[in-house]
Amino acid sequence: MNFMKKHKLATFIIVIYIAVVIVSYFVYKLFSDTNGMPLYGDRLEGIELVEITKDQKTALVGALKESNDVVSVSEPHVSGRTYNVVITFGDVATDANAKKLADVVTQSLSKEQNDYYDVQVFLNKKYNCTLEATGVVDEDGVFTSDVKIKFKEDLSKDKEVLGYGISTAKEKEYNAKLDTSITTDGDFVVYGYTKDKVGESTCSIKVVRKASNDKGVEETTINSAVTQSFPMIGYKRKGSSSYVWTKDR
C-alpha cells in the first residue's frame, strides 16, 4: 500500500494498461470472424455426403465444351455451399443459347447435390471482333486527321483465335492484319473478320474523314460494338429448379 501511495501515477498507468488489455481481448473475441469456430460454422455439416467429385467436374467441363458456342470452361469449384462454373462463349453466341447451358450444370449434379448446393454460373464472352478508330474529330464527329483502325484486342496473342484480318472489302479476308489507316478524305467502311472454334464473325466501323484547317476538337476513339450483353450471372438456390439471371454484379 505504501508503494501505491508513493507511486500513484505509475500505479494508475499500470491499472489502465491492464484494463485496456482485458477489454481489447474481449472485444477481439466478440468480433472475431470465426470466434474460434470453423469459417462456415456448422453450415457445411453433411457436405461429405454430397461431395462434388473431381470426375463430376471433369465430365461437366467436357459436356459444356461439346456446345458449338463454347470457347472455354474454367475448372468448376466449390466455395462453401456454392458451386461456381465459368463459361466463355464466342462472338456469335446468343444470350438464349448461352443460358441454356446452365441446365447442363444442374443435370450434372444428383438430386441430393442440387438440394444441398447453391449453383452460380458465370457467362462471359470474348468479343474478338471489335474495331476501334482513333483520330482527331471536329464538332460534327468527322475525323480531320489520319485515322488508325485496329482490333480492340491483340488477337495475335490469343490462342483461341484461328484467323483474323482487316479490309475495306465485304468478302472475308483473313490477312492477319491487326490495323490499318485512313489517310485520304472520304466515307469509308472498314471490316474486321475473325474466326475461332465457335465460328466466323464480321464487324465493321464507318469512318468519315475530311481535311480541315482547324485543329479539330480532340483525339477520339470510336468503337464498333453495338451491344455487349455479357457477362451474365445465373444463380440457382439449393432445391430450386430455375436460375435467376442478372448482369455482372
Mapped onto helix, strand or coil, the DSSP state of residue 142 is coil
Whether residue 141 is predicted with pLDDT greater than 90 in this model: the reply is no
Q: What is the pLDDT of residue 249?
A: 43
Grade residue 92 by pLDDT with cuts at 50, 70 and 90.
confident
Q: How many CB atoms lie within 10 A of CB 59?
A: 12
More confident residue, 46 or 35: 46
Residue 233 has what pLDDT? 95
Residue 182 reports pLDDT greater than 50 = yes
Residue 55 confidence (pLDDT)? 97
**How large a percentage of the chain has pLDDT more than 90?**
58
| Average pLDDT over every residue of 84-101 | 92
Q: Do 47-126 and 131-223 come out as alike in CATH topology?
A: no
CB 87, CB 231: distance < 8 Å: no
Q: How many Cα atoms occupy the beta-carbon half-sphere of 17 within 13 Å?
A: 6
| Beta pairing partners, 133 | 149, 222
Predicted local distance difference test score (pLDDT) of residue 134: 96
Query: What share of the chain in percent tops pLDDT 70?
Result: 81
Does the pLDDT of residue 17 top 80, yes or no?
no
Q: How many residues does the chain have?
A: 249
Q: Is the pLDDT of residue 12 over 80?
A: no
Give the C-alpha separation, 118 to 157, whole Å: 36
Which stretch of 21-35, 66-80, 84-98 has the lowest confidence by average pLDDT?
Answer: 21-35
Residue-wise pLDDT for 196-218, tens only, equals: 888 899 999 999 999 776 666 78
| Burial readout 93-122 (b: 16 or more C-beta within 10 A, e: otherwise) | beeeebeebbebbbebbeeebbebbbbbbb
Average pLDDT along the chain: 86
Is a pLDDT exceeding 60 seen at residue 41? no
Q: What is the pLDDT at residue 118?
A: 96
For 131-223, CATH number?
Answer: 2.60.40
Angle at 203 between CA 201 and CA 204, to 5 degrees: 155
Computed on alpha carbons and rounded to an integer, the radius of gyration of the chain in Å comes to 30
**Every domain of the chain and the residues it spans:** 2-31, 47-126, 131-223
pLDDT at 248 exceeding the cut of 50: no
Confidence class for position 140, pLDDT limits 50, 70, 90: confident
The dihedral sign for the CA sequence 177, 178, 183, 184: positive
Q: Write out pLDDT tens, residues 18-39.
A: 766 676 666 555 555 545 555 5
Q: What is the pTM assigned to this prediction?
A: 0.69
The stretch 88-105 carries a mean pLDDT of: 92
Which CATH number, 1.10.10.10, 3.40.47.10, 1.10.287.4300, 3.30.365.10, labels domain 47-126?
Answer: 1.10.287.4300
Q: Does residue 228 register a pLDDT over 90?
A: no
Strand partners, 83: 78, 119
Confidence band for 10, pLDDT divided at 50, 70 and 90: low
